[in-house]
Structure 1
Amino acid sequence: MADAKGFKPDVEVRVNDYRIGAIGAGMIMAECHLAAYKEAGFTVAAIASRTKSRAESVASRWGIPRVHDTPEALIKDTDVEILDIAYPPDQQPALIRAALKEPHIKAILAQKPLALSLDEARKLRDEANAAGKILSVNQNMRYDQSMRVLKQILDKGELGKVVIATIDMRAIPHWQSFLEGLDRLTLANMSVHHLDVLRFLFGDPEEIYTATRSDPRTQFAHKDGITVSTIKFPDNVLAVSMEDVWAGPREAGFDSDFYIKWRVEGTDGVAQGTIGWPDGSASTLTYASKTTTGGQWVTPTWETMWFPHAFIGVMEQLQYAVKTGETPALNVADNVKTMALVEAGYRSMDEGRAVKLAEIAID
């Protein structure tokens, strides 16, 4: 780690005792989860995917000793203690429910979005609770280094009372093929990172207004391409999250400018930075505070990145919860609130108005 000036951009690995079973062998598992787990010293005991040959290739790369024919067979493997799912949201609930029935599985890490609807997410929350299992959701942007340091700055009051916050994304996601058959695109699958991390920073929102238009590049039918959400939080905090998935032409010879930038302004200071995902660099943060930096800009730095290093924190918080009995930081009940914010955003799109979160039932 480089000079972080007393901040903690990455987590301390307190627990790495449990055997993980990985379901999925696509990019997010092969390049992020498993890379992070190798670095942290986590034990991956088995892997399975829809295509066994793909799982075998990923297992060979990361030294995973056992490859199962199917995800269902892996769930039955009594050597697996924590199930790590990287699967499409339409297929994920069935795997979660199968795992809830197995005594040897202590905890489940699910992908976001947890399910295709808020109603299904609520059901999974309640079923996990009834089964006495820990269900956690991989909201990994909370472990991005700039977001962690920003949270520490806010918690110390260095910016005073927050006035406004923005997240400005101009980047082109790789939409996975399974999304073509669904009626929800950007808000549920990309904006969910930003909406969740805004909750992490500022608490539970009171209201959201989301406007959208189609993305000219995305060829399959969709209603939410480019999205802009204005969110009101307690204490009169205003936030804007924009996901510009068009971001300009992408063709040979065109000098594209892709980025994710964020900024938080408070009564005593300003913090701003970038999320490194679009170009594979480390995220950044710089801030100035009347009370702690004399109004001068200070720039903590680090060498780790959101992808893959944040995934250490995601799995570590779950192992720590299993070990101690404490509620995981990324617990399913909290994630249902993020799903409610997404649902409110879609209602706002459909009805052309601001939607109060009190309108969305989460119990």
Structure 2
Amino acid sequence: MEAFKLSPDVDVRARDFAIGCIGAGMIMADNHLEAYRQAGFDVAVIASRTEENARAVAERYGIKTVHETPEALLADARIEIVDIAFPPDLQPDLIRKALAQPHVRAILAQKPLALTLQEAIALRDEARAAGKILSVNQNMRYDQAMRVLKQIIDAGHLGQVVFAQIDMHAIPHWQTFLADYDRLTLANMGVHHLDILRFLFGEPTEITTVARTDPRTQFTHSDGITASTLKFANGVMALSLEDVWSGPREEGFDDDIHIRWRVEGTDGVAKGTIGWPNGAPSTLSYASKTATGGKWVTPEWETMWFPHAFIGVMEQLQYALKSGTEPELSVADNVRTMALVEAGYRSMAEKRTVALSEVPVE
């Protein structure tokens, strides 16, 4: 029924470069490496802070070489791409050590790239000076519903977008290291949503963010539940809610965990869900005056954000190296997402709307 071909998942255009993985926690073990296994990427070596953990993950995925330390992995001349899954306070040091290795051609880092916007900008500039690719794992851009939504918007089937909303009521797994930071939800969960809004609609001009603490989160934090209103240069208004409380979560209580989204335009509407909280594929339905005769159409797929989106994350980096082009998830682009997060925190602290012009990145 669709007026054009929709592509919820990427085609793998390159598998040419050997990967060294640093980290053996959930995000690496259950998502990166499972995605790479399915796509046929070459993971040559692995290391972590705890060698025993790295060996267990290596056995699980048939990785032949385990190094005792991340530094030993970085010195391995076989490695062309370094994939880092480390906390953001430790990640910049590893990135800098990787940039210094002549055989390392590209680095995939986690988000947030660093604890401050200033350090993220410094890493961007250092990678540029080294002539190497630094890419940041904004994996929600490869969620199947978000990819299809982007295709529908770019094809003009919604007309001029007027309004968008992401409505999250779900409970993230907060990694233990987050208890040491002063920022929580916007930096570690909302960053997905703020980045995807940039991906869909371009650069925002202003953001207003409010927050309160989350009753379930026991460690000290400034932002538990967050709500942001954004305006974009093209006139789009967007709302992003991160409700990490979402109600009692206890035996006998029927909760309603979900993430729903909606985009309204002059010629159509798209809506759907993000399947991550429930371990299901994300969904999308859309009705367009020009493409569907005003009737609702619901394309379907079986792949999911976790782990399948991570195929796209590594594929775009492999292809950038092979083709000599800029990666889709460039560090320069990610710095702009970090600037948006920074503006959100400034809005919370100062209780006002913050223009993005107040947070320069150049």
Give the TM-score normalised by the residue count of structure 1.
0.98
CA distance in 2, matches of 1:292, 1:14: 29
CA distance in 2, matches of 1:246, 1:314: 29
Residue 213 of structure 1: aligned partner: 212
- Local SS of the residue matching 1:236: coil
Offset at 1:234? Answer: 1.7
CA distance in 2, matches of 1:263, 1:111: 27
> What per-residue deviation string (whole Å, max 9, x for no partner) do you get for residues 264-300 of structure 1?
0001110001011001100000000011111100001
Contact 2:107 2:133 in 1 (8 A): yes
Residue 36 of structure 2: aligned partner: 37
Residue 122 of structure 1: aligned partner: 121
Aligned residues: 361
- Local SS of the residue matching 1:206: strand
State yes or no: 1:295 paired with 2:289. no
Offset at 1:160? Answer: 0.6
Q: Which runs of 5+ in 1 are unaligned?
A: none
CA distance in 1, matches of 2:258, 2:110: 24
Contact 1:4 1:300 in 2 (8 A): no
CA distance in 2, matches of 1:357, 1:262: 24
State yes or no: 1:161 paired with 2:178. no
> What per-residue deviation string (whole Å, max 9, x for no partner) do you get for residues 222-249 of structure 1?
0000000000012210000000000000
CA distance in 2, matches of 1:4, 1:199: 26
Contact 2:3 2:292 in 1 (8 A): no
State yes or no: 1:224 paired with 2:223. yes
CA distance in 2, matches of 1:297, 1:130: 50
- Pick closer, same or farther for the CA change 1:62–1:272 going to 2, 3 Å: same
- Local SS of the residue matching 1:287: strand
> What per-residue deviation string (whole Å, max 9, x for no partner) do you get for residues 102-149 of structure 1?
011010000000000100000000000000110000000000000000
Residue 141 of structure 1: aligned partner: 140
Please tell me the residue identity of whatever aligns with 2:328.
A
Contact 1:144 1:305 in 2 (8 A): yes
Residue 49 of structure 1: aligned partner: 48
Please tell me the residue identity of whatever aligns with 2:177.
F
Residue 150 of structure 2: aligned partner: 151
Offset at 1:340? Answer: 0.2
Kindly report which structure 2 residues correspond to 1:95-106, keeping only aligned pairs within 5 A, or say none.
95-106=94-105
Offset at 1:256? Answer: 1.3
- Local SS of the residue matching 1:235: coil
Report the aligned-residue RMSD. Answer: 1.0
Residue 324 of structure 1: aligned partner: 323
Q: Which runs of 5+ in 2 are unaligned?
A: none
Offset at 1:331? Answer: 0.2
In the TM superposition, structure 1's runs of 4+ consecutive aligned residues that sit over 6 Å from their partners are: none
CA distance in 2, matches of 1:191, 1:70: 32
Please tell me the residue identity of whatever aligns with 1:7.
L
- Local SS of the residue matching 2:188: helix
Please tell me the residue identity of whatever aligns with 1:50.
R
- Pick closer, same or farther for the CA change 1:248–1:159 going to 2, 3 Å: same
Residue 180 of structure 2: aligned partner: 181
Residue 90 of structure 2: aligned partner: 91
CA distance in 2, matches of 1:128, 1:281: 37
Residue 239 of structure 2: aligned partner: 240
Give the TM-score normalised by the residue count of structure 2.
0.99
CA distance in 2, matches of 1:252, 1:171: 17
Contact 1:4 1:302 in 2 (8 A): no
Residue 249 of structure 2: aligned partner: 250
- Local SS of the residue matching 1:95: helix
CA distance in 1, matches of 2:213, 2:3: 40
Contact 2:3 2:291 in 1 (8 A): no
